[in-house]
Structure 1
C-alpha cells in the first residue's frame, strides 16, 4: 500500500470514527455507567474510549470486527481496568441508577425502585452473564457483536443471555 492510499485510509477511518462517536457515545457511556455505577466516571471512560480509538486508528484493521465492536471492546477493557483500580482501593463509588428525569416524581421513584431491584438481582448472575446482559441490553449490541467484544461465539453469547434471563426471571419472580 503506498503512502497516499494509507493516508486516505486513515482519513476515511477518522471520518468513520467521528460518525461512530456521534452514533455510539451515549450507548458506550450508558454501558460503562451500568458497569461502574458512577455517571461522571462513565462519561470520562467513554471519552477515553474514543481517544484510545483515535490513537490506535492507524493500526485498526477490519478483521471481520466492525468498528462498533472494536469500540465496545475498548470500553470493556477500560471498565475492567477501572474496576481493578477501584478494587485495590477497596471502594467503588456507587450512584443510584436513576433513569433520565421524569415529569412525574412518582414515576421516577417507581423506576428507581425497579432499577434497584434489577441491580440487586443482577449481582446474583455470573460476571460473564452480567457482561452479556450489559452489552446486549444496555450497550444495544447484537449477540454477534457482544461475542466479538467478549471473544465468544454468537451461540455462546445467546446461551449465556438465555441462562441469565431465566435466572433473573426466577429471582425477580421470587421477590414479587
Structure 2
C-alpha cells in the first residue's frame, strides 16, 4: 500500500479532529440551537446537520487561525439564520416546551430549569439581535469571546462590550439575585 499523500493525511487528520470534537461540541451546539430556536427537536436536528455539513465540506476547511470548533458554530449560526428566513412565522415555544433538552431525572430540578429557561428566553427577546447572538454563543454554546468574534466576524473587544451590555440588561430584566 503506497504511503498517504499530504492531502490524504491532512483530510484524515481533519476527520479525526472533527470526530473528537463531536463529543464536546454536540451538546453545546444543541444548547445553542435550542436557545435560538426554542424547540428541542429542531435543535438536535441542527446540531446533527452541522456535523453532516462539516464532514461534507471538510476539504474546504482551512485552519487559518479559526479553530474548527468556531467553524462548527459558524455553520450552526448560519443554519439557524436560514431556518428563520425560510419560515414566514417563527413558531413560538409553548409554556410546556421551555426546558433545556437535558436530563429529566429530578422533577424539582426539571421544573426549576423550565421556569428559568422560560424567563431567560423572554428576557433574551429584549436584547438586540447581536447581543442575543453573543449571549447564546457565549453562554449556551460555551465559546470564548475570541471564538464568538470569529463566528460573528466582529472584533473581540466589540463582542466583549456587547456581552457586557447584554448581561447588564439581563440583570435588570431578570433581577440581579437570580443571576448570582
Q: Same fold (TM over 0.5)?
A: yes
1:163 pairs with 2:162: no
Report the RMSD for the aligned CA atoms in angstroms. Answer: 1.8
CA deviations over 1:110-130 (Å, ceiling 9, x no partner): 332222111111110001001
3-state SS of the aligned residue for 1:162? Answer: helix
Cα separation, partners in 2 of 1:107 and 1:7, compared to 1, 3 Å: closer
1:146-161 equivalent positions in 2, closer than 5 A? 146-161=148-163
3-state SS of the aligned residue for 1:63? Answer: coil
3-state SS of the aligned residue for 1:70? Answer: helix
Partner Cα separation in structure 2 for residue 104 and residue 42 of structure 1: 22
3-state SS of the aligned residue for 2:142? Answer: coil
Cα separation, partners in 2 of 1:167 and 1:91, compared to 1, 3 Å: closer
Partner Cα separation in structure 1 for residue 22 and residue 106 of structure 2: 32
Q: Which residue of 1 is the match for residue 36 of structure 2?
A: 35
The more displaced of 154-163 and 110-119 is 110-119
Cα separation, partners in 2 of 1:163 and 1:17, compared to 1, 3 Å: same
Cα separation, partners in 2 of 1:91 and 1:165, compared to 1, 3 Å: closer
3-state SS of the aligned residue for 2:91? Answer: coil
Q: Which residue of 2 is the match for residue 124 of structure 1?
A: 126
Cα separation, partners in 2 of 1:104 and 1:153, compared to 1, 3 Å: same
| Number of residue pairs aligned between Structure 1 and Structure 2 | 171
Structure 1 residue runs without a partner (length 5+): none
Q: Which residue of 2 is the match for residue 66 of structure 1?
A: 67
Aligned with residue 114 of structure 1, among 103, 106, 116: 116
CA deviations over 1:87-125 (Å, ceiling 9, x no partner): x2x241525221434554344323322221111111100
Q: Which residue of 1 is the match for residue 138 of structure 2?
A: 136
Partner Cα separation in structure 1 for residue 24 and residue 107 of structure 2: 30
Structure 2 residue runs without a partner (length 5+): none
Shift of 1:45: 1.1
TM-score, normalising length: structure 2: 0.88
Q: Which residue of 2 is the match for residue 6 of structure 1?
A: 7
Cα separation, partners in 2 of 1:107 and 1:12, compared to 1, 3 Å: closer
TM-score, normalising length: structure 1: 0.90
Q: Which residue of 2 is the match for residue 94 of structure 1?
A: 93
